[in-house]
Amino acid sequence: MKQPVKNIMIFGDSYSTFDGYIPAGYAVYYSDMECDNTDVRRVEETWWHRLVTNRRLHLVRNDSWSGSTLCNTGYNGDCSRSSSFIYRMETLEQAGFFRDNDIDTVFIFGCTNDSWANAPLGEDKAEGIAKEDLFSVRPAIWYFLGRLREILPDGNIIFLINTELKPQIGEAVKAASAYHGTDCIELTYIDKCCGHPTIQGMQDIEEQIEAYLDRAE
């Protein structure tokens, strides 16, 4: 870890959403409404709220969009101007968000939809990443982590690797993390219903992050 974890932001998908706690216009999965797919009904039950509360952190922004892919290929094709992690990061950077906000740690919890949507995997690419490469998962991971490292040269960048992803995706995250000097946590167990964390699953995620941070700090 480059510095103490205090002011955090999240780039995420459905796993990190909760109605009213993500930017307006973003698709949401978790809310206080009755739902057969999960027993999570309160924001306090989410992994990120638990982490923020237990470690007394300041959540600057939860940039999570349900159903979003990290790369520019989504369920309906091109999402390079809407929901992709890459587009959202670049939009924030161009708007001066990272300049205007004190963020020491970024948690990235993504690639679940890249795996589910069968986005093209492509190949790992440390250099010479072209615009068209960003429509494939593996080069997109390398680009995303490299760009974030440029934006936050002294920040903690931590990629949470979900369980049950295509193995090539987890391998790309680990290789890109090592190359760019960022961190990753390979989650080993998450209780889920319909592919999404339950209350117990949220606790599983948070406890594994806590254990990692305790070892790293």
Architecture of the structural domain at 7-216: 3-Layer(aba) Sandwich (3.40)
Average pLDDT, the chain: 96
Q: How many CA atoms are closer than 13 Å to the CA of 15, on its beta-carbon side?
A: 30
Instruction: Kindly state the greatest CA–CA separation across the chain.
Output: 47
Q: How many CA atoms are closer than 13 Å to the CA of 57, on its beta-carbon side?
A: 27
Q: What is the pLDDT of residues 73-106, one digit of tens each?
A: 999 999 999 999 999 999 999 999 999 999 999 9
Report the pLDDT value the prediction gives residue 44, as an integer from 0 to 100: 97
- To the question of pTM greater than 0.75 for the whole model, the response is yes
Report the pLDDT value the prediction gives residue 175, as an integer from 0 to 100: 98
**Four-point Cα dihedral 158, 161, 166, 170, nearest 10:** 50
Look up residue 121 and give its two tokens. 């995997």
Report the pLDDT value the prediction gives residue 10, as an integer from 0 to 100: 98
Do residues 89 and 70 lie in contact, with contact meaning Cβ atoms separated by under 8 Å? no
Residue ranges, the chain, pLDDT below 50: none
Rounded distance between C-alpha atoms, residue 209 and residue 160, angstroms: 8
Report the pLDDT value the prediction gives residue 216, as an integer from 0 to 100: 85
